[in-house]
Amino acid sequence: MKTKLHLSKKLSNTLCITLMLCLCFNYGWSQTNLALNSTMDEFTTTTNDNSDAWDMSPSSTVVTDQDAIDGTTTPSPYRALWNNSDLDTWLGTNCGDDSEAPGSSSDGNFDYSAGPTAGVATRGVKINEACRRLYQYVPVTAGTSYTLFIESRSEVAGVPSEVYILNTEIADETGFSSTSSTVDAFLDITNDFSSSKSNATTDNFTKNTLVFTPSGSFVVIYIKSPLAVDSSTEVFFDNIELYETASLSVDKSSTFTLKLYPNPANNYVIVESDNSEILEISIFDTLGKNVMPNSVLKNSRLDVSSLNRGVYFMRINANSSQVTKKIIIE
């Protein structure tokens, strides 16, 4: 005998939403930063080893804080994943200086997690020669949306940085450009000039964001600043983080204040900012699909009546900042 279970439409929808929320909070919806040593602070004794995470040919060993006490070394966790000696050799031969690795720097951004007036100095990496590159190999899932966050500060105006998401480990830069077949995504950072370092109360780094969908099973985060040629033109980087876009269920820190209501919503949501102009809004479903790209507000109101009931993620761009908010459509 077959038994049929009949649910009202309202109860069925409620159960669906509840189930989706349970899945979100219990099965893989926490944020996982895929970038290694993204803060450049993991090695506090032998601080130069922090830049190894962003070197195309990392050293075979690192010195952890315990190693420094014991007088030992540890096999490099980075060298186990990548070692692009071909590109290293090509740059050394064709680029004109003897170093392709970024330099470890005490002039990273400050950690403001304890509050805006309690910043703590942290380390970063820097480019101060035309041939230096940031390089990190990251396993990913093809066809899944990812979001890269990167903080940068150039010492002088007119020194841009080029951020490439590579789909292969290139052996040279012959004919290489942002439109090369080896490039899945590109970001040109042109607005991060600040002659002043960050301090305990003032963040002078620019927050940059790049959303992309990889074509293969890994990507290489590849960054260069060709006009950073000496200590007077150097560029600093810190807090390079990579997440699956759909995992951004908790707000990433942003440089602008934001109000979003009602949430849960039915036909519309209101999005307001007191200190920044909202330029663009996109909405992603739980699979990372952009279901409302490049949406525009009308009198601070966004029409979401076309969306089915469920959980979504709203990516909001304002000037050079970006924040992702979770919304529920009832």
Domain assignment present for 36: no
Please report, rounded to a whole number, the percentage of residues in the chain having pLDDT higher than 70: 82
Domain assignment present for 116: yes
For the cut 90, the answer to whether the pLDDT of residue 2 exceeds it is no
Residue 22: pLDDT band with limits 50, 70, 90: very low
For the cut 70, the answer to whether the pLDDT of residue 251 exceeds it is no
User: Residue 221 is part of a domain; what is its CATH number?
Assistant: 2.60.120
- Whether residue 180 is found in the same domain as residue 256: no
218 or 283: which leads in pLDDT: 218
The CA-atom distances, in angstroms, between 229 and each of 173, 182, 224 are 18, 26, 11
Closest CA to 59 of 48, 72, 67, 69: 48
For the cut 60, the answer to whether the pLDDT of residue 262 exceeds it is yes
Listed residues 202, 221, 247: the one ending a domain: 247
- Whether residue 136 is found in the same domain as residue 196: yes
Least confident window among 40-54, 195-209, 293-307, 316-330: 316-330
Closest CA to 47 of 65, 33, 34: 65
Listed residues 217, 247, 277: the one ending a domain: 247
Specify the pTM: 0.69
User: Residue 315 is part of a domain; what is its CATH number?
Assistant: 2.60.40.3080
Burial of 95 (0-12, 13-18, 19+ CB in 10 A): middle
Domain assignment present for 212: yes
Domain assignment present for 316: yes
- Whether residue 209 is found in the same domain as residue 299: no
- Whether residue 254 is found in the same domain as residue 220: no
Please provide the size of the chain in residues: 330
Per DSSP, 231 falls in state T
Least confident window among 202-211, 271-280, 292-301: 271-280
- Whether residue 187 is found in the same domain as residue 324: no
- Whether residue 218 is found in the same domain as residue 269: no
Amino acid 73: pLDDT: 95
Amino acid 103: pLDDT: 94
The DSSP-derived string for 63-123 is --HHHHHHT--EE-TTTTT---HHHHHHHHHHSSSS--SPEEES---EE-TT-TT--EE--
Alpha carbons 59 and 282: distance in angstroms, whole number = 41
The CA-atom distances, in angstroms, between 181 and each of 90, 162, 298 are 20, 16, 38
Residue 144: pLDDT band with limits 50, 70, 90: very high
Mean pLDDT of 198-206: 88
DSSP H helices in the chain: 9-26, 65-70, 85-94
Domain assignment present for 126: yes
- Whether residue 280 is found in the same domain as residue 212: no
Amino acid 197: pLDDT: 92
For the cut 60, the answer to whether the pLDDT of residue 255 exceeds it is no
User: Tokens in use for 258?
Assistant: 């934001």
Neighbours of 191 (CB within 10 A): 13
Domain count, the chain: 2
For the cut 50, the answer to whether the pLDDT of residue 287 exceeds it is yes
The CA-atom distances, in angstroms, between 28 and each of 36, 237, 286 are 19, 29, 11
Average pLDDT, the chain: 83
- Whether residue 68 is found in the same domain as residue 158: yes
Which structural domain range is residue 307 located in? 250-329
Domain assignment present for 2: no
Residue 322: pLDDT band with limits 50, 70, 90: low
Q: Are 148 and 242 in contact (CB under 8 A)?
A: yes
- Whether residue 156 is found in the same domain as residue 289: no
- Whether residue 70 is found in the same domain as residue 104: yes
Domain assignment present for 10: no
Amino acid 316: pLDDT: 82
